[in-house]
A and B are shown apart, each in its own frame.
Chain A
Amino acid sequence: DSGVTQTPKHLITATGQRVTLRCSPRSGDLSVYWYQQSLDQGLQFLIQYYNGEERAKGNILERFSAQQFPDLHSELNLSSLELGDSALYFCASGGTGGYGYTFGSGTRLTVV
């Protein structure tokens, strides 16, 4: 157990739908990072939050949004889902500076 909790582990949904992925960071970590891993692809950075505020943004689609709550857990919202959104979505958390951050076990999203 890495200390970073992601739910759900698996999600199957239809095109056009909206889903919410949840991440609870390790105790004491202020930063949360979201990454997308498609089949045979590397880890693509989506977005980072630090203590409730957006800190950095990557190639995140406009259909996707995220937020970090006062208790530091984060949610990634994916809407108007397309087949190409099927992927593993990882959350990672890190302390100040974010060095050596820790990944959760991911949410596997399948859009049918």
Chain B
Amino acid sequence: GENVEQHPSTLSVQEGDSAVIKCTYSDSASNYFPWYKQELGKGPQLIIDIRSNVGEKKDQRIAVTLNKTAKHFSLHITETQPEDSAVYFCAASSSSNTGKLIFGQGTTLQVKP
């Protein structure tokens, strides 16, 4: 079945350090991979996404890489700041092509000042 594995489940870094979150998806037909940030008491917010025809995408301190052969994709946050502390979810599009997204279990990132 459709599945997305996300690691680690928790991550603690010092302010200024980098953070990396990794995901693996099961469905080779997935072609869209968004990342969401969820702050306490709020809904998940799209922060970056990548499509299967691209290997890497950057937006300021955030980057996402995709390895379609290995079915891996990763979120990289550089120069972390306390306001980056949140739960991060990766997702992969369903092969059913309905727009449905399959989410990973989430990573709680804590950035210590």
Contact = CB atoms under 8 A, between A and B. Distances in A.
B32 A43 contact: no
Contact of A98 (B45, B46, B98, B103): B98
Given A41-B105, A99-B32, A99-B93, A31 B43 contact: no
Interface residues of B, number: 24
A48 B43 contact: no
Contact of A48 (B36, B93, B100): B100
A43 B98 contact: no
Given A42-B89, A50-B98, A94-B99, 18 more contacts: A2-B43, A35-B103, A41-B105, A43-B44, A43-B103, A45-B100, A45-B103, A48-B99, A50-B99, A55-B99, A56-B94, A92-B43, A98-B100, A99-B49, A101-B99, A102-B46, A103-B44, A105-B41
Contacts of A105: 41-43
Closest 10 CB pairs of A and B: A98-B99, A103-B43, A42-B105, A43-B103, A56-B98, A105-B43, A56-B100, A55-B98, A103-B44, A42-B103
Given A42-B103, A42-B106, A2 B45 contact: yes
Contacts of B96: 56
A104 interface: yes
11 contacts: A48-B100, A90-B44, A92-B43, A98-B100, A99-B99, A100-B49, A101-B99, A103-B43, A104-B43, A105-B41, A105-B42
Interface string B34-62: 10100001111110010000000000000
Contact of B43 (A44, A50, A90, A98): A90
B101 interface: yes
Contacts of A25: none
B18 to A, nearest CB: 24
A92 B99 CA distance: 11
Interface string A81-93: 0000000001010
Contacts of A94: 99
